[in-house]
């Protein structure tokens, strides 16, 4: 058999297009594959967030048909069926070679049904809660397990997730670990940009315009989707401890989500309005990261958080927890600070240590950048996906 060339594949990509790790990774992977000559069709319900300000040759967005109907008002439109139908149509019209589904719920089911109709193979990438929490819910677990087992190939973004899939979901098939990645040439440390606070709001100014910034004041940064596992409310409690010990510090929080109101109320209750500022969802995270002194992630469960990769690539020292796949990325004491457990006092002490030690921040920032370049750059990771795709198609043709 003549080996199939992996160049110029036509790939359907299922993803959640909103702000979030799995959708961001899926979008960036598609763009990198397009730059290498592949044709990428994002098949989803709205234009991916990461594509809002960018145009990439070879990247197409095929929107799933959505309509209201009286019969669906109680349960909502059957999105999985509509997604399947759209994939069948795009595969037929554009002669696509395979499907790459990011996040198993409901994309594994849609890919499975599409393969039953068209014969097109599918690859599943497991990202996090589709394995360790939501995927375990009895409402989804049997279908998730079956459609992952039956995929032509399965990848996970961390060894932790692979282990969880085997132990908790009961997956018996091979799962290949392909970690998350970023473009290290895009996420680099920038100089000349500072954060400035005016009347409780946070914005970006050039260094000349930011003369009012106190040079002794330190800036901490957190970014997430405000789900409970991110523990943003608890981070506010931690900041009360930090501020009591180190008053010249501010915490900037980027993002939005379910616990935002609780976060706002906690900030007011602890009298931290002058020390914690909510940015909302932002597209210029590189600039914001390069304006901070340290990045904080206080989660209880993670797969392989992209935001840590981005912060480390920008030479921003990180303080995090031993949640899920984080210790695979951040080696404790080498690439960043990883607490032993999840207690607020321990985390606060780690933050204070980083704030008070300029040389430690610089050392961790340099080490974090090297870690990402060596192990998590797009040049290293994207070919791993290409290899998986090639193996699937060669097996399909055998």
79-120 pLDDT, tens digit per residue, is 999 999 999 999 999 999 999 999 999 999 999 999 999 999
**Bridge partner list, 43:** 62
| Distance of alpha carbon 194 from alpha carbon 289, whole angstroms | 10
Q: Please check the confidence at residue 179 and state whether its pLDDT lies above 80.
A: yes
Q: Which residues of 262-273 are buried (b: 16+ CB within 10 A; e: fewer)?
A: ebeebbeeeebe
**Residue 209 — very low, low, confident or very high, per pLDDT cuts 50/70/90?**
very low
Task: Based on the fold, state whether residues 310 and 338 are members of the same structural domain.
Answer: yes
Q: Which domain holds residue 47?
A: 10-181+377-397
Q: What is the pLDDT of residue 165?
A: 96
Q: Which CA distances in Å does 284 have to 218, 221, 281, 369?
A: 20, 13, 9, 19
- The total of other beta-carbon atoms located within 10 Å of residue 208's CB is 8
Task: Based on the fold, state whether residues 42 and 98 are members of the same structural domain.
Answer: yes
268 in any annotated domain: yes
- The total of other beta-carbon atoms located within 10 Å of residue 95's CB is 9
Task: Based on the fold, state whether residues 41 and 177 are members of the same structural domain.
Answer: yes
User: Is 390 in contact with 4 (CB distance < 8 Å)?
Assistant: yes
Tokens, residue 6: 């992996």
- The total of other beta-carbon atoms located within 10 Å of residue 337's CB is 21
Q: Residues 267-280: what's their mean pLDDT?
A: 91
364 in any annotated domain: yes
| Distance of alpha carbon 252 from alpha carbon 295, whole angstroms | 10
**Residue 303 — very low, low, confident or very high, per pLDDT cuts 50/70/90?**
confident
Q: Which CA distances in Å does 136 have to 78, 277, 341, 371?
A: 21, 35, 24, 32
Task: Based on the fold, state whether residues 227 and 78 are members of the same structural domain.
Answer: no
| Distance of alpha carbon 127 from alpha carbon 130, whole angstroms | 7
% of the chain at pLDDT higher than 90 = 74
% of the chain at pLDDT higher than 70 = 91
Task: Based on the fold, state whether residues 145 and 265 are members of the same structural domain.
Answer: no
Question: How confident is the model over 307-355, as pLDDT tens digits?
Answer: 999 999 999 999 999 999 999 999 998 999 999 999 999 999 999 999 9
Task: Based on the fold, state whether residues 94 and 228 are members of the same structural domain.
Answer: no
Alpha helix stretches (DSSP H) within 48-120: 79-94, 104-118
339 in any annotated domain: yes
2 in any annotated domain: no
- The total of other beta-carbon atoms located within 10 Å of residue 258's CB is 12
Q: Please check the confidence at residue 359 and state whether its pLDDT lies above 90.
A: yes
Q: What is the pLDDT of residue 336?
A: 95
Q: What is the pLDDT of residue 353?
A: 96
Task: Based on the fold, state whether residues 370 and 383 are members of the same structural domain.
Answer: no
Q: What is the pLDDT of residue 98?
A: 97
| 1-15, 125-139, 210-224, range with greatest mean pLDDT | 125-139
User: Is 99 in contact with 122 (CB distance < 8 Å)?
Assistant: yes
188 in any annotated domain: no
* Residue in this structure with the two tokens 């992209």, named with its chain if needed: 306
Q: What is the pLDDT of residue 211?
A: 41
Q: Which of 92, 91, 111 lies closest to 101, judged by CA?
A: 111
CATH classification of the domain holding 165: 3.40.50.2000
Q: What is the pLDDT of residue 279?
A: 86
39 in any annotated domain: yes
Task: Provide the number of structural domains found in the chain.
Answer: 2
Task: Based on the fold, state whether residues 135 and 220 are members of the same structural domain.
Answer: no
Q: What is the pLDDT of residue 197?
A: 54
| Distance of alpha carbon 42 from alpha carbon 18, whole angstroms | 13
**Residue 207 — very low, low, confident or very high, per pLDDT cuts 50/70/90?**
very low
348 in any annotated domain: yes
| Distance of alpha carbon 186 from alpha carbon 383, whole angstroms | 19
Task: Based on the fold, state whether residues 160 and 21 are members of the same structural domain.
Answer: yes
Q: Please check the confidence at residue 199 and state whether its pLDDT lies above 60.
A: no
Task: Based on the fold, state whether residues 247 and 136 are members of the same structural domain.
Answer: no
Q: Which CA distances in Å does 183 have to 258, 265, 314, 349, 364?
A: 29, 37, 11, 32, 20
Task: Based on the fold, state whether residues 167 and 303 are members of the same structural domain.
Answer: no
Q: Which of 307, 395, 398 lies closest to 123, judged by CA?
A: 395
Q: Which CA distances in Å does 199 have to 174, 194, 259, 273?
A: 54, 16, 24, 10
Task: Based on the fold, state whether residues 136 and 18 are members of the same structural domain.
Answer: yes
* Residue in this structure with the two tokens 């973004």, named with its chain if needed: 157
265 in any annotated domain: yes
């Amino acid at each position: 058999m003549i080996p199939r060339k992996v160049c110029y594949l036509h790939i359907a990509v299922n993803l959640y297009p909103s702000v979030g790790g799995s959708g961001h990774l899926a979008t960036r992977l598609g763009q990198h594959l397009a730059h290498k000559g592949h044709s990428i069709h994002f098949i989803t319900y709205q234009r991916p967030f990461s594509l809002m300000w960018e145009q990439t040759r070879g990247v197409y967005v095929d929107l799933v048909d959505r309509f209201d109907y009286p019969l669906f008002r109680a349960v909502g439109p059957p999105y999985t069926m509509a997604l399947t139908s759209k994939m069948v149509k795009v595969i037929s019209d554009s002669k696509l070679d395979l499907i790459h589904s990011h996040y198993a719920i409901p994309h594994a089911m849609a890919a499975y049904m599409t393969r039953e109709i068209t014969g097109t193979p599918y690859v599943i990438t497991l990202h996090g809660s589709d394995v360790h929490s939501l995927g375990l819910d009895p409402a989804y677990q049997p279908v998730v397990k079956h459609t992952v087992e039956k995929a032509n190939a399965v990848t996970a973004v961390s060894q932790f997730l692979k282990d969880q899939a085997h132990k908790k979901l009961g997956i018996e098939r091979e799962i290949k670990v392909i970690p998350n990645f970023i473009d290290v040439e895009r996420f680099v440390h920038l100089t000349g940009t500072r954060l400035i606070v005016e009347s409780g709001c946070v914005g970006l100014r050039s260094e000349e315009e930011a003369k009012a910034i106190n040079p002794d004041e330190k800036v901490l940064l957190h970014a997430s989707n405000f789900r409970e596992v991110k523990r943003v409310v608890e981070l506010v409690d931690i900041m009360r401890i930090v501020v009591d010990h180190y008053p010249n510090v501010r915490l900037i929080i980027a993002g939005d989500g379910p616990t935002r109101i609780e976060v706002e109320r906690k900030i007011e209750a602890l009298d931290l309005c002058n020390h914690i500022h909510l940015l909302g969802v932002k597209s210029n995270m590189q600039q914001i990261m390069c304006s901070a002194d340290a990045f904080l992630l206080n989660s209880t469960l993670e797969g392989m958080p992209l935001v840590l990769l981005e912060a480390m690539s920008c030479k921003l020292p990180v303080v995090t927890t031993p949640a899920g796949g984080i210790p695979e990325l951040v080696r404790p004491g080498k690439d960043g600070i990883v607490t032993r457990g999840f207690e607020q006092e321990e985390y606060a002490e780690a933050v204070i240590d980083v704030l008070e030690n300029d040389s430690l921040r610089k050392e961790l920032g340099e080490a974090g950048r090297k870690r990402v370049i060596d192990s998590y750059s797009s040049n290293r990771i994207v070919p791993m996906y290409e290899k998986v795709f090639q193996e699937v198609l060669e097996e399909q043709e055998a």
